Amino acid sequence: MHLHHQITYQAALSVAPSIEEHFSRLLASAQETGAEALAPAPPPHIIEAFLDTAFWASLRREEGKSPKISIAFLPPDRAGQPLLFADQLPFTPEALNKISPGVQRPGIHLGVWAEQGELRVWGTTRLVPSYCFIVDVPEPGLLVVKHRRADGFGKFANVVVLKGDQVKVVDESTASLPDCPELLTSLLGLGAPSATGAPLNVLIQMAVSMRAHGRGGILLVVPAGTTAWRESIVHPTTYSLQPAFCGLANLMKQQEEEKKRSRWRESLRLEVDHIAGLTAIDGATLLSDNYELLAFGVKIGRKIGSEPVRSLLLTESVVGSKPAVIHPSQHGGTRHLAAAQFVHDQHDGMALVASQDGSFTIFAWSPCEGMVQAHRIDTLLL
């Protein structure tokens, strides 16, 4: 169907074919496996119109505040229990800006569908089908194309991030790099765990929550039942816990049927936010890989007898980005250098590092490369 929409945001025109190919491939693969109740595939002219309208809306202000909205391409009958407007709204920057204050809470999407050659906003929904084409507007000039994962649990999977004329297309092939952390594989939407197994989804939610508080922080994940990590911590520690705090760990031990309940998911969110909030305190937060909170506000120190970390392999899951061996100081400040040193000394540990500017990096040891790998993932967390 032809739309009466003139595209003036040039980045929308350049990236639309890649987005169309991505969603077509996802939906075709899902149909081959017998999946039902899938979202409609977005054609290029719909993608262009969504990006163009969302971009210009993002630059407007309503009562002194910029809009934060999520726009989903689907008809009302695919939306579960939609909130329907008696009179549909025009799909324009002005209309999106006006309604934005009432729909900016997480999980609320404006539903948009094409009728008689025009895109119209028919209402809102909290339920979208798997692989639904969504454009999220988190801040002025920033757009994130994403979709709901097949299992419906955890953070939506990002496809493209546009900031002004800068376009970052998520590169799923980075999951095939040697020693790619499972956390990164899950963020890319490849082999993502279900709602019931979900250990990696917990760390994804932790990363999103750490990034959200905006103060920066370090989360160190160490093997449960071990003490080798103590050799890389400056003693005494101000906020060491004895016994370890097991609120999150106890939640993860509950029966699988219980984990399917909304009450369990809300409890999980609260526990994740509790621990992620502690990472805002100066120093690092320590979590075992079975989710016991061991300490927070700890200082990382070089292990006795260990050499200073002099290089790491930096990667980013963006098309066109090439792995590069750099000195840790080239990637960030003291927080990043400390995290790289910790992983350099504790090969079975992992460090999640949030910066105040919103960048986010996973540090993990690569046996294949024989060095620390730093995976920048902020494009995947938006």
Q: Which domains does the chain have, with CATH numbers?
A: 10-169 (no CATH), 199-381 (3.40.1700.10)
Closest CA to 294 of 283, 309, 306: 283
pLDDT confidence of residue 77: 92
DSSP 42: P
pLDDT confidence of residue 196: 41
Edge-first strand order for the sheet with 83-90 is 83-90, 118-125, 109-115, 69-73, 134-139, 142-147, 157-163, 166-169
The pLDDT > 90 percentage for the chain reads: 67
Position 175 confidence tier, pLDDT thresholds 50, 70, 90? low
Position 195 confidence tier, pLDDT thresholds 50, 70, 90? very low
Over residues 177-190, the pLDDT tens digits come to: 666 666 676 666 54
User: What does pLDDT average to over the chain?
Assistant: 89
pTM of the model: 0.80
Position 36 confidence tier, pLDDT thresholds 50, 70, 90? confident
C-alpha dist (Å) from residue 219 to 109, 252, 282, 373: 31, 19, 12, 16
